[in-house]
Structure 1
Amino acid sequence: MSPQRRTFLRLAGLGAVTTLAGCSDPTEPGEDGSADAIAGVDNRPFVTHSGSPVRDGADTVGRAVLVDSEARERAVFDQYDAGERRDEFEDFLADLDYERERLLIAESVGPDACHDRLDVSNVRPVAGELRAEATVVDTGEDGTACAEVLTYPSAVVRISFEAGTAPADSAAVEMTDGWDETATISATVDDPLDPNLGSLEGSIRPEAEADPLEPLECGRSNVHRHPQAFDSENLRWGNFWHEGRVALGLRIDDTAYEYGDTTRIELTNVTDESVYTGNSAKYNVQAYTGDGWQDLRVAGEDQHFGYEDDAVEHPPGKGFEWSLGLTEAGITADTFHDHAEVCPDLAAGRYRFAFFGITDGAVAVAFDLRL
């Protein structure tokens, strides 16, 4: 059900920003002859992404996802980069019972940053199928200057069915985008969530929080530490978004290692078209310390951490793979910056690998090291 686009996604040149709204906007069922089968409907804004200022003519009006299980719910929240903010939906999702309820996520697109809300209404069952209407709303006031970027608002709807009524496993949403184009978007509980995202092997990061290490001090003169090459606010764990959908998935083969082990980290294009990024040398390897995330590598003051500015094409299902030996020598062995050294020595703690070969941010995985 992902929107189709003819053009390449040039992730080395465009970014995505995620915001989340948390207000509730109850929706009444439509006055359809079968509406009595619905016990209640509640909806609220979900996630809004912004992307390219140019709309591809192949863009669809929108997307819909129907959720019938906790596992699918978690996958959708992760796909929409909302997994870490589930506490903001705690009341909305409280006591959700998929034996008699469904979640419907609807997403559309608008021409600028003021088209940042998707209103869902007239939710009702028709012949065993959920029907609804969704419209992109311009929330800008008169005289407001709206950033000229495509904006992808979405909404999540909770539908409760009356006792004895089987919840619907299919839906049809009459969706109107920010250009007033309307189409009927269909969804079922069996639809794949993304071409390849669900099939990625590996993990993103440990579930438990970690205590910070002492700030990294090299103890040597005339060296400088590799800088963090991205703004922390623009880091995404595991999935990188572009134009309203996940474009790249980053996974690590485990979340805990012994000193001397080797990690395998893979970046994969999970769209159905080619994606461009920067080269594979553009990453930070960092420790979580009392001074925040610090790169492990240092170099002499006359040596620089420069990078070549080129673009690499990744066909669907393809990407980069890295292997890092978890020793002082292994971190820098056979790398672009082989003049660098790890200083101080590795310690037991939390580490992360952050690929910043994308514009205005990075995508990361994390792991724990045991000595």
Structure 2
Amino acid sequence: MERTRRDLLARTGATLAAAGAAGVAGCLDFAAGDGPQGPAGIPETLSCEDEGFVRLAQPFEGEVAGTLVEVGGTTVELSSEGNSETYGQPIRLVLRNTGDEPATALGRHAYSLQRETAEGWLDVRGSTTGEAVELPRSEETFDSTGAYSWSIDLEETAIASAVPDLDLAVCPPLGPGTYRFVYWGIVDAPPLSAQFELIG
């Protein structure tokens, strides 16, 4: 009996030592560069040292609505899983026509991913070609019960590659702060937005 207890204690000690080592390794990984590396809080603006980087312009004017708009006798709603997201984890959003009539939309890529700065909301993405580009858009019927869904990992490469056939980058790197996803593609309706905090 005594021997079994000693064996159990020895095994438990070894397991705890291994877990402790893994925990330290995780801390070292984070310190070595994992996690958001950009400016924290509300920066003055978003600056990029790459001279060929041209930030995406805001493709809409006026105020941004919340998560619900009425248009053409129907209702369109934008929902997200939460209002606090961890760097590297996916943000999941769904845009639904919850009414009885169709709406007109400009496709699933008619969105901006913006960060709050002292000079206003700015898209975190831009062209890497030295020239301004526009996001793809084409009018299509957004039927009653229709939906678009997104799952975008909150890290630079995944955000830049979420729109096919465009050479985009995120610059500067993401940092802890306030962001919003804005879908501006419902024709004759104000843009819908879901705001969230990005944490390390």
TM-score range, shorter chain: 0.7 to 0.9
Partner of 2:50: 220
Alignment of 1:178-193 (within 5 A): none
- Alpha-carbon RMSD: 1.9
- Counterpart CA distance in 1 for 2:182 and 2:192 is 6
Partner of 2:19: none
Alignment CA distance shift 1:298-1:307 (3 Å): closer
Matched positions, count: 159
Q: Report the residue type matching 2:197 in the other structure.
A: D
Q: CA deviation at 1:232?
A: 3.4
| Partners of 1:239 and 1:246 within 8 A in 2 | no
| Partners of 2:113 and 2:180 within 8 A in 1 | yes
Judging by fraction of residues, say which structure has more helix: 2
| Partners of 2:74 and 2:102 within 8 A in 1 | no
1:356 aligns with 2:180: no
- Counterpart CA distance in 2 for 1:357 and 1:290 is 26
- Counterpart CA distance in 2 for 1:308 and 1:221 is 24
Q: CA deviation at 1:281?
A: 0.9
Q: Report the residue type matching 2:99 in the other structure.
A: T
What percent of counterpart residues are identical?
A: 25
Compute the TM-score of the two structures, normalised by the length of structure 1.
0.40
Q: CA deviation at 1:212?
A: 2.4
- Counterpart CA distance in 2 for 1:337 and 1:321 is 19
Q: CA deviation at 1:362?
A: 1.1
- Counterpart CA distance in 2 for 1:309 and 1:288 is 25
The equivalent position to 1:317 in structure 2, one of 131, 145, 150, is: 145
1:288 aligns with 2:120: no
- Counterpart CA distance in 2 for 1:348 and 1:325 is 15
Q: Report the residue type matching 1:278 in the other structure.
A: L
1:236 aligns with 2:65: yes
Alignment of 1:10-159 (within 5 A): none
- Counterpart CA distance in 2 for 1:284 and 1:309 is 13
Partner of 1:369: 198
Q: CA deviation at 1:336?
A: 3.0
Alignment CA distance shift 1:275-1:358 (3 Å): closer
Return the structure number with greater relative CO, CA threshold 8 A, min gap 6.
2
The equivalent position to 1:256 in structure 2, one of 72, 84, 94, is: 84
- Counterpart CA distance in 1 for 2:178 and 2:103 is 30
CA deviations over 1:178-208 (Å, ceiling 9, x no partner): xxxxxxxxxxxxxxxxxxxxxxxxxxxxxxx
- More moved, 352-361 vs 307-316: 307-316
- Counterpart CA distance in 1 for 2:113 and 2:137 is 20
Q: Report the residue type matching 2:50 in the other structure.
A: R
Partner of 2:101: 273
- Counterpart CA distance in 2 for 1:231 and 1:256 is 27
Compute the TM-score of the two structures, normalised by the length of structure 2.
0.72
In structure 2, the residue corresponding to 1:329 is in which secondary structure?
helix
Alignment CA distance shift 1:240-1:305 (3 Å): farther
| Partners of 2:179 and 2:197 within 8 A in 1 | yes
Q: CA deviation at 1:306?
A: 2.5
Judging by fraction of residues, say which structure has more strand: 1
Alignment CA distance shift 1:264-1:256 (3 Å): same
In structure 2, the residue corresponding to 1:330 is in which secondary structure?
helix
CA deviations over 1:2-61 (Å, ceiling 9, x no partner): xxxxxxxxxxxxxxxxxxxxxxxxxxxxxxxxxxxxxxxxxxxxxxxxxxxxxxxxxxxx
Q: Report the residue type matching 2:53 in the other structure.
A: V
Q: CA deviation at 1:276?
A: 2.0
